[in-house]
Structure 1
Amino acid sequence: MSKVINGKPDVADSTRSRVQAALDAMNYAKSRSTTSPLIDVVLERLDNVWGLEVIIGVERSARKHRLGVVITETRGVSDDPSFWVDACVERNPIGVILVLSDLTKDAAQRLTARNIPYVLLDPSGDPDPDSASIRADNWSGGLAGTRHLLDLGHTNIGVITGPSSMLCSQARLAGHLAAMAERGLAVDESMIMEGDFTTTCGRDLAMKLLKRTPRPTAIVAGNDLEAMGVYDAAHTFNLRIPDDLSVIGFDDVQTSAYMGPPLTTVRQPIREMSSEAVDLLLRWDERDTLMTNLTLPTTLIVRGSTAPSPDE
C-alpha cells in the first residue's frame, strides 16, 4: 500500500487500481506539507507555437505568485508515456498542467495517490468527469469561421481538419457542418480531408484540394499551422490570397498576424486558458465551490486572408 500512496512506479496496474479504490473509499489523502513552489507543465511537444503560447500563459501567471515553472516534453523522449511522473512526484509541485493527447490511468492514479492536483488543458478526449479540465469552445469557433466565408459568398469550401481522434477536431468540423446546414447547403465529403495539425500536412492536403475541378474558393484549416501550409500550396498554384482563395485558420498564434496577408482565424484564448489552469491549481482546496471543467469562448479575428468569393 505504501508504494501506491507514495506514487512509486513498480506497482502492477491492477494492484494500484485496487489499492487506490480502497483509499478513495476511506477518503484518504496524503499530506502535502512539503509542497514545492512549482507548477509542472507536461506537453507532448515544444516545437510549435501553440506550445509556446501555453508556456507564456503559465509563466506569466506563475510569476505573479512567485512560483517556478518546470516544463517537460514527452514526445520522442521515452517509450513509457508516463515517465515524467517519477520526477514530478519527487518534486511534489503545487500542481501539474497536462497538455497531452492521452493521460494514462496509471499516471492519474499516481498523482492522485500523492494528492498532487492536475488540470487537463485542451484535452483531446473526453476526460474523466472527476478530472479538472479547461478547453475552448471549438464548436462555436468552427461555426463562426464558416459563417464568415458563407457571408462572403463562398459555397465551394474545402476543409482540412485535425486528427479525427481529437475532440477539438470533431467539434470544429461539427461547427463547420452546422453552418453549412443552416444555409441549406449540401456538403461534399470529398472536400473534407483529415490532417494532423502540422504545416506540412496542411500543404500536402491543400495541394490535393486545389487540384480539383472546380477548385475550392476557400479553405478552412484545422489550425493556424495547417493554414500556413495552405498558403504555401496556394503560392505553388500561383493563386493570390484572398483574391483567388480565402483561408481561415484556428488558434490565433502570434505568427498568424504577420503572415502575408495576415491570417483570418478563430482565436482560441490559449494564454487565458493556461492562466486559468494555474489559478485553479492554486485554489485547489476550494474546488468544491469552483468550476473545474471550464470552456472559454472563441472569437473570430478577421484579417486579410478572406474576401468575397471570386465566383460572385
Structure 2
Amino acid sequence: MTAREPAETRTTESESPTTESKTRTAESESRSTPSETRRTTTAAPTAGRSTQTATLAEIAREAGVSAPTVSKVLNGRADVAPATRTRVEGLLRAHGYRRRRAEASRSPLIDLVFHELESAWAMEVIRGVENVARDAGLSVVLSESAGRLTPGRTWADQVAARRPHGVILVLSGLDESQRALLTSRSIPFVVMDPAGDPGADVPSIGATNWQGGLAATRHLVELGHRRIGAITGPSRMMCSRARIDGYRAALETAGLPVDQDLIRPGDFHHETGYRQGLELLRRRDRPTAVFAGNDLQALGLYEAARELGLRIPEDLSVVGFDDLPVARLVGPPLTTVRQPLTEMAEAAAKLVLDLAREEGTPAATRVELATSLVVRSSTGEPPAL
C-alpha cells in the first residue's frame, strides 16, 4: 500500500472506471533462437545434393506463415491458431524437428486454484481466466486449496501431475514445499489478490484496496455522516487490512475519531454481515452509515436493517466493495467500490502464459488495478437522530 493519497475515481452506472496498472519490472520479450533437434540420416549423400534439413525460414515459406510462428509452434507456445499449428507441426515432423521435451509435455491447461470456491465473485474470476484461455486454445481446471469445510492439501500434487501451462492462485498462497514442487516441474504460477505477502519474487495481481476503502468512507463523510461503522474481512488477508486502513485514513483526514466499537470483525460472508449488522444497529448510539467491507456483507447488513425496521438510505447508508452483479439488482441498488475482478483475472492469465513462454527465471512482477467508487441509491444524507 502507498502512504500517498491517490486521486479518487468515481463512476456512475453508465461509466467504465479507469483501470491503471503498476508494474515493478517491465516485461521482457525473449529473442533467443529456439533450440532445434534435427534428425540425422545414415544414408550416403547424393552427389550434388545437401543432406541438411530445411531451415525454419524454409518451413515457414512452405507453410505460408512467418518464421516467428514456426518458432512458436516448435517451442510449444499456445498463441497459434489450431489449424496453423497442425499444418506447421506436420512440416516440422517431416523435416525432422522435435519440440523441446519440457514444452511438449505440458498439457493444454491453466489451473485456477481458489482458496474458497463458494465465494460469490468466483464466477467473475473464472470468466476472466476463461477469456484468455479460450483465445490461447487452452482449457481451465478449477480446484480449491482450503475452503471453510475442506482442508485441501493435495492440490499441488494434482497440478504437478497434470503439468499445465501455468497456475493461478486466488486469495491463497504457496508454502515452501508447494512452491518447490511447481518450480521443479517448470510450472509457472501467479497469485491473484494474495491473502498474505506473496514475497518479492512471486508474480501477483491485486487491486488498490486501500484507495477503495478511503473512497468509500470519504463518500459517506461528504454526505454528512459522522458516526460511520465498518465490518472488516479476515484479519489475515492483506486486502481486508488495506480496506480498513483506508477507512481509518478517511476518518482521520476528516478530523473524525476512529471508534473501535464501531468496527466489527467479518469474514466476507453474508451471514457475518447480518450478524455483525445486528450488533451495530442495536446500539443506542448506532452508526448512521456502514462501510460493509464487501458486497456480501453489505447484503447481510441490508437484512439486519430490514429486521430492525430501518430504511436504506433514509435511516442507514451502506457501502459495499467488489461491485458484484447483484449489487445493482438489490433494492435499493448498492453503492459500492468496484474491484475489476474480471480484468484482474485476465491480467493474471496473460501473465502466467507470458511466464510460461519465457526462458529461465522471469523477473517478479506486481500489478495493481484501480478500484473506483460506484454511487447508487444505498447512500444519502444522515437522518436527524
* TM-score tier after normalising by the smaller chain length: 0.7 to 0.9
TM-aligned CA deviation for residue 290 of structure 1? 7.1
Write the deviation string for residues 92-121 of structure 1: whole angstroms up to 9, x where unpaired.
Answer: 111000014342221111001111000001
TM-aligned CA deviation for residue 51 of structure 1? 1.2
Matched AA of 1:172? R
Matched AA of 2:142? I
1:249 equivalent in alignment to 2:344: no
Instruction: Give the corresponding residue for 1:218.
Output: 289
Instruction: Give the corresponding residue for 2:30.
Output: none
Over the residues paired in the alignment, what is the CA RMSD in angstroms? 1.8
- From 8, 20, 38, the counterpart of 2:109: 38
Matched AA of 1:55? I
Instruction: Give the corresponding residue for 1:66.
Output: 137
Write the deviation string for residues 127-159 of structure 1: whole angstroms up to 9, x where unpaired.
Answer: 111111001000000000001000100110110
1:204 equivalent in alignment to 2:275: yes
Instruction: Give the corresponding residue for 1:305.
Output: 378
TM-score (norm 1): 0.86
CA 1:254 to 1:92, structure 2 compared with 1: closer, same or farther past 3 Å? same
Structure 1, gaps ≥5 residues long: 1-29
TM-aligned CA deviation for residue 65 of structure 1? 1.6
Write the deviation string for residues 59-80 of structure 1: whole angstroms up to 9, x where unpaired.
Answer: 1221122210101123267645
TM-aligned CA deviation for residue 32 of structure 1? 3.6
Matched AA of 1:63? R
8 Å Cα contact 1:32-1:115 kept in structure 2: no
Q: C-alpha separation between the residues in 1 aligned to 2:248 and 2:160?
A: 44
Alignment of 1:249-288 (within 5 A): 249-284=320-355, 285-286=357-358
Q: C-alpha separation between the residues in 2 aligned to 1:175 and 1:76?
A: 27
Higher Rg: 2
Greater share of helix: 1
For the residue of structure 2 that corresponds to 1:212, the secondary structure is coil
Instruction: Give the corresponding residue for 1:23.
Output: none
TM-aligned CA deviation for residue 229 of structure 1? 0.3
Q: C-alpha separation between the residues in 1 aligned to 2:323 and 2:103?
A: 38
Q: C-alpha separation between the residues in 2 aligned to 1:290 and 1:260?
A: 47
Instruction: Give the corresponding residue for 2:307.
Output: 236
Alignment of 1:9-88 (within 5 A): 31-74=102-145, 75=147, 79-81=151-153, 83-88=154-159
Write the deviation string for residues 152-192 of structure 1: whole angstroms up to 9, x where unpaired.
Answer: 00110110000111111110011011111111111111100
Q: C-alpha separation between the residues in 2 aligned to 1:127 and 1:248?
A: 29
Matched AA of 1:93? P
1:292 equivalent in alignment to 2:360: no
For the residue of structure 2 that corresponds to 1:93, the secondary structure is coil
8 Å Cα contact 1:154-1:309 kept in structure 2: yes
Q: C-alpha separation between the residues in 2 aligned to 1:78 and 1:138?
A: 28
Structure 2, gaps ≥5 residues long: 1-100
- From 227, 232, 237, the counterpart of 1:161: 232
8 Å Cα contact 1:46-1:52 kept in structure 2: no
Identical aligned residues as a percent: 49
8 Å Cα contact 2:201-2:364 kept in structure 1: no
Write the deviation string for residues 227-276 of structure 1: whole angstroms up to 9, x where unpaired.
Answer: 01000000001111011100000011111110111110001111001000
Q: C-alpha separation between the residues in 1 aligned to 2:148 and 2:336?
A: 30
Q: C-alpha separation between the residues in 2 aligned to 1:102 and 1:58?
A: 18
For the residue of structure 2 that corresponds to 1:165, the secondary structure is coil
Q: C-alpha separation between the residues in 1 aligned to 2:119 and 2:137?
A: 27
Q: C-alpha separation between the residues in 2 aligned to 1:102 and 1:297?
A: 22
Write the deviation string for residues 290-311 of structure 1: whole angstroms up to 9, x where unpaired.
Answer: 7721111101010110011113
8 Å Cα contact 1:49-1:254 kept in structure 2: no
- From 127, 152, 158, the counterpart of 2:198: 127
Greater share of strand: 1
For the residue of structure 1 that corresponds to 2:125, the secondary structure is helix
Instruction: Give the corresponding residue for 2:207.
Output: 136
Write the deviation string for residues 10-52 of structure 1: whole angstroms up to 9, x where unpaired.
Answer: xxxxxxxxxxxxxxxxxxxx93431111110011222232111
